[in-house]
Amino acid sequence: MKDFAAIDFETANNERSSVCSVGIVIVRGGEIVDKFYSLIKPEPEYYNYWCSQVHGLNIADTKNAPVFPDVWKQIEPKIEGLPLVAHNKAFDESCLKAVFRVYQMDYPDYEFHCTCIASRRRWPEGQHNLDIIAARCGYDLKNHHHALADAEACAAIALEIL
């Protein structure tokens, strides 16, 4: 796969619609051509302790952030016609669908691929966490659980094994 958009969401709480940041890496012809990152005002707008512990974001970080539809208006033209790739697509795809539902937006049924599933096929043994598989593919993930850093790691994995 040489053309795709790697995507990663972080959430504020256990609701999949509570996306509080997004990272996107656009790959065309096997080369990274664009990157996008934004904080997002989560819906519902509260943070639980565990999510904040994972990604380090809290209510003060997203208090003045744009809402999802405004962020997606910037993303949509960048990813038009591209399949989406995520590490653990079940999570990221469900977040995307949930936030589309919350804002009553028409979901365009994006094509999604999963680097975690692909890594399990390639290397059946061991753990398949994003940082571990990224390292196995020669990518040093320095800022794990930052949406853009995770999307960059996912893109590196996808270029290696998809």
In this prediction, residue 13 carries a pLDDT of 98
Strand partners, 28: 31
**Predicted pLDDT at 133:** 97
* 104 pLDDT tier (thresholds 50, 70, 90): very high
Residues 6+ apart with CB under 8 A from 89: 112, 113, 114, 116, 117
The tokens describing 136, both together, are 């196995």
Cα(109)–Cα(23) distance, integer angstroms: 19
d(C-alpha 78, C-alpha 65), whole Å = 20
How many CA atoms are closer than 13 Å to the CA of 66, on its beta-carbon side? 11
Q: What is residue 125's predicted lDDT score, i.e. its pLDDT?
A: 94
CATH code assigned at 112: 3.30.420.10
Mean pLDDT of the region 118-132: 96
Q: What is the mean pLDDT of the chain?
A: 97
Q: Print the domain residue range for 40.
A: 4-161
Say what the pLDDT of residue 40 is: 98
Alpha-carbon gap, residue 5 to 73, rounded angstroms: 15
Q: How many domains does the chain have?
A: 1
pLDDT at 66: 98
DSSP 86: E
